[in-house]
Structure 1
Amino acid sequence: MAIIKLFPVAPKLNFMSKRKLFLAFSALLMLGSVISFATLGLNFGVDFRGGILLEVRTDGPADLGNLRSRLSALDVGEVTLQEFGAPTDVLINIQKQDGGEGAQEAAIQLVKEALGSDVVEYRRTEFVGPKVGGELKEAGILATVLALGAIGLYIWFRFEWHFSAAALVALLHDVIATVGFFSLTQVEFNLSTLAAVLTIAGYSINDTVVIFDRVRDELRKYKKLAITEVLNMSINRTLSRTVLTSVTTLLALFSLFIFGGEVIRGFSMGLIWGVIIGTYSSVALAVPILSYMNIRVGVSDGPDKAEQAAPAAS
């Protein structure tokens, strides 16, 4: 509590003087994400690319090298193994076999025979066909596009089209940067990490709406101030709320990342990155974009108030 009380309620940081630097950094981040996606692609999980997935528990720490050589000799195509949390837990990915469901069952049986008594428990066995994986990809892209469109319409109706455009640019920035993050790190991209991307969009727009609400109020109060001063005041007067909300959220997410196990590690990593990049875009991208728009148009004056002199941001 004492730390929270020490945080200044309305600091006087001059964000708007650095807006060109912020915009340049954001443009480079988006460009880098696109290049990473184009060159490295995403490490799609079985959900999207199809194939066989087995999660096994071995009798003692797994010897991945030995298991890999035994499975490679089966002639079932590409096989990847990775430690999955504890040293005794192994995740095995096998490419889709030619043929129908019977071919997949035969491959699973071959793998089980090769692993033999080394495996004491088969914790998960899944098969996803490429058609289902393709449909999931299309559904995921459609869900993301529809979510961004609905958010843009909401901001348009609540504020004005200028605010909607700025919010959508910030949201696209967050989504592209997050896809770039998964591409660069090659963390498995599956349905749970797609859910993380959509969660990031919701979190980011929540921060943006809070700041935009303050911008609208300050525009009505300080009609003679330069737009950059009004925007700077709005950021500073919501900064304590923005930072404290993000920090408390990150504390919970780091706990999930450290103690939640391998199953949700990609999900928690994506959210950690998303909260950081979403907070940045709300403060340093969405609001600076407004400075290049005539946002005073369409903002009603509201109740008559005496013009107040605003302190200049240092």
Structure 2
Amino acid sequence: MEIFNPNSNVHFLGLRRYSIGLAIALMIASVALIWGKGLNYGLDFTGGVEIQANYSQPVTTNDVRDALEKGGIKDPTVQSLGGTRQVLIRFQPKDDTVHPPQGDKVNLDVIAGDVGKALKAARPDAVVASRNYVSSQVGDELRSSGTIAAILVIIGIGLYLWIRFERRFAVAALATEVHDVLVTLGVIALVQREFDMTVLASVLAVIGYSINDKVVVFDRIRELFRLARKAEPEEILNRSINSTLSRTIITSLFTGIAMAALFFYGGPSVHGFAVTMLIGIVVGTLSSIFVASPILLWLGVSKKDLMPVTRENPELARRP
């Protein structure tokens, strides 16, 4: 049974030295960017002031943001609270509103008064309903929790693939997931886009999306290994990538279109999520094609690793 025709398939595995070398270079560059420039953490992680404002008539977040900036509030984040008459305003307070002897504590009365004046100057029906201050300590805890969550997700995926496939697949998946996360974060650090809770959520979503692509390829690899009689592992892996390529491209394309629509029509509050997902989709798709299978080949995956043990062939699934 012929399962590999070099005349009708792109030989992706022939590029493995270049693709793996580029992947390693991108990971090193990403670590350097994250370490050197750092992530531009938003108020969710750095702490800041949260103020809820109510309006008697509908208002847009853009109008509120413009009113705050005209009133001297720099870089405010404005989100709608389940309607068109309530908004949540978040921003980093000025240095002169922080009392040095009290550390993170700020004069909320002064800040709320400044915000109220800025809002009322544009819309007299604006009312400051509540105010709160999130300390930098809370932000540090959120950052630590987010990092732990990402690590646990990647480890959980590795255990799942170890059980479903074989340990070499788990190792390949873990390596590519680390690559995808690092490169995605590296791009965010490069452009210094604000890193907040929505971006963290999208990073976790990128992990799930990326592993979904790889599981599809891994399933095809296992199927072709069981069907093949004399084909070499490189041929099997290359054929698996080619046979799932159209599915991978179509899935990535339509997911990318959905994220683009979210970016253009979802409002500023979801821009970070959409942009991070778009970056992750590109990185995850390319790693599924050019990185995961070369790692499997390097680890020495073979037919014996994936064949079930039977009474007729009790040693098929065991290495000699």
Q: Shorter-chain-normalised TM-score: which range?
A: 0.7 to 0.9
* 8 A Cα contact 2:104 2:136, kept in partner: no
Could you tell me which residue of structure 2 aligns to residue 37 of structure 1? 34
Q: Mean alpha-carbon deviation: is it higher for 45-54 or for 26-35?
A: 45-54
* 8 A Cα contact 2:65 2:77, kept in partner: no
After superposition, where does 1:73-222 map in structure 2 within 5 Å?
Answer: 80-81=74-75, 92-94=91-93, 97-98=98-99, 99=102, 103-112=106-115, 115=118, 117-120=120-123, 121=126, 127-222=133-228
* 8 A Cα contact 1:50 1:129, kept in partner: yes
Instruction: Give the CA deviation at 1:102.
Output: 6.9
Instruction: Give the CA deviation at 1:84.
Output: 6.8
* 8 A Cα contact 2:65 2:78, kept in partner: no
Instruction: Give the CA deviation at 1:49.
Output: 0.9
Instruction: Give the CA deviation at 1:210.
Output: 0.7
> Aligned partners of 1:61 and 1:253: how far apart in 2?
24
Instruction: Give the CA deviation at 1:103.
Output: 3.0
1:27-79 Cα deviation digits (max 9, x unpaired)? 111111111111111111111111125688687994888644xx6xxxxxxxx
Aligned residues: 282
Query: Structure 1's 59 and 265: CA in aligned 2 closer, same or farther, altered over 3 A?
Result: closer
- Report the TM-score when normalising by structure 2: 0.78
Which segments of 5 or more consecutive residues in structure 2 lack a partner in the other structure? 1-6, 54-60, 80-86, 313-320
* SS at structure 2 position matched to 1:41: coil
Could you tell me which residue of structure 2 aligns to residue 75 of structure 1? none
Instruction: Give the CA deviation at 1:275.
Output: 1.0
* SS at structure 1 position matched to 2:182: helix
* SS at structure 2 position matched to 1:94: coil
> Aligned partners of 2:295 and 2:187: how far apart in 1?
24
Could you tell me which residue of structure 1 aligns to residue 306 of structure 2? 299
Query: Structure 1's 107 and 25: CA in aligned 2 closer, same or farther, altered over 3 A?
Result: farther
Could you tell me which residue of structure 1 aligns to residue 290 of structure 2? 284
* 8 A Cα contact 2:199 2:272, kept in partner: yes
Letter of the 1:27 partner, please give it: I
> Aligned partners of 1:40 and 1:12: how far apart in 2?
42
* SS at structure 2 position matched to 1:52: strand
Instruction: Give the CA deviation at 1:92.
Output: 4.0
> Aligned partners of 2:225 and 2:231: how far apart in 1?
9
Which segments of 5 or more consecutive residues in structure 1 lack a partner in the other structure? 1-9, 72-79, 305-314
* 8 A Cα contact 1:67 1:115, kept in partner: yes
Letter of the 1:93 partner, please give it: Q
- Report the TM-score when normalising by structure 1: 0.79
> Aligned partners of 2:174 and 2:107: how far apart in 1?
44
1:159-197 Cα deviation digits (max 9, x unpaired)? 111000000000000110111121111111111111101
Instruction: Give the CA deviation at 1:127.
Output: 2.7
Instruction: Give the CA deviation at 1:117.
Output: 3.8
> Aligned partners of 1:300 and 1:60: how far apart in 2?
63
Letter of the 2:307 partner, please give it: S
> Aligned partners of 1:92 and 1:133: how far apart in 2?
14
> Aligned partners of 2:194 and 2:38: how far apart in 1?
11
Over the aligned positions, Cα root-mean-square deviation in angstroms equals 3.1
* 8 A Cα contact 1:52 1:104, kept in partner: no
Query: Structure 1's 181 and 61: CA in aligned 2 closer, same or farther, altered over 3 A?
Result: closer
Match of 1:18 among 11, 15, 30: 15
* 8 A Cα contact 1:220 1:302, kept in partner: no
Instruction: Give the CA deviation at 1:119.
Output: 4.0
Letter of the 2:75 partner, please give it: L
Letter of the 1:210 partner, please give it: V
Q: What fraction of aligned residue pairs are identical, expressed as a percent?
A: 34
Query: Structure 1's 48 and 65: CA in aligned 2 closer, same or farther, altered over 3 A?
Result: closer
* 8 A Cα contact 2:226 2:307, kept in partner: yes
* Larger relative contact order (Cα-Cα within 8 Å, sequence gap ≥ 6): 1
> Aligned partners of 1:257 and 1:60: how far apart in 2?
20
Instruction: Give the CA deviation at 1:154.
Output: 0.3
Instruction: Give the CA deviation at 1:82.
Output: 5.9
Query: Structure 1's 176 and 107: CA in aligned 2 closer, same or farther, altered over 3 A?
Result: farther
* 8 A Cα contact 1:196 1:267, kept in partner: yes
Letter of the 2:98 partner, please give it: Q
